Amino acid sequence: MIEPTDENYDSAQKYIDSIESIERAIYKLSIKEDSLAKDAQDKLRSRYSGTYKIEVLGTSSKKEVEVYKLNVNGQAEWLWVYYKGGFAEIDDRKTGTWFATEDNITINIQGNSGMITEVYSNKQGMLINVPLSKRRLEKTNESF
């Protein structure tokens, strides 16, 4: 430790000040980058949030359906819905999270046997499951 009476004390203080200045600049930059990343994620979540039915090409049923509810705050719900007498009845419900990139939605749901992750890629305006290309998300205005 350098004492104030040491002949190198002033140069050591300048060195410490310059390190602190660099650390402050790095900190401010990281806050700015975090803020920009959050803004970008918020815009993507606004674009993709909503309720989606999972359609499987060639095998979809009108009596039962899987549903994802993607909330703008990043929370997600998976629902198994039966239609009885024209009314939707929720048979099972699981929760999780989701996030989006420009081209993909990634959904993480806590299933009975662990975390289930599904990725849907935006291809020509359709959200197609990766790697199960017959499985896709279709936005719906239906309430569950």
From residue 64, how far is each of 83, 111, 122, 126 by CA, in Å?
6, 19, 25, 21
Confidence at 35, pLDDT banded by 50, 70, 90: low
- Residue 134 confidence (pLDDT) above 90: yes
| Mean per-residue pLDDT over the chain, rounded | 88
Checking if the pLDDT of 116 tops 90, the result is yes
At residue 37, the pLDDT reads 67
Structure confidence at residue 69 (pLDDT): 98
DSSP state of 10: H
Question: Which of the pair, 14 or 135, is modelled with greater confidence?
Answer: 135
State phi, psi for 102 to the nearest 5 degrees: -60, -35
Residue 130 has pLDDT above 70, yes or no: yes
pLDDT of residue 66: 94
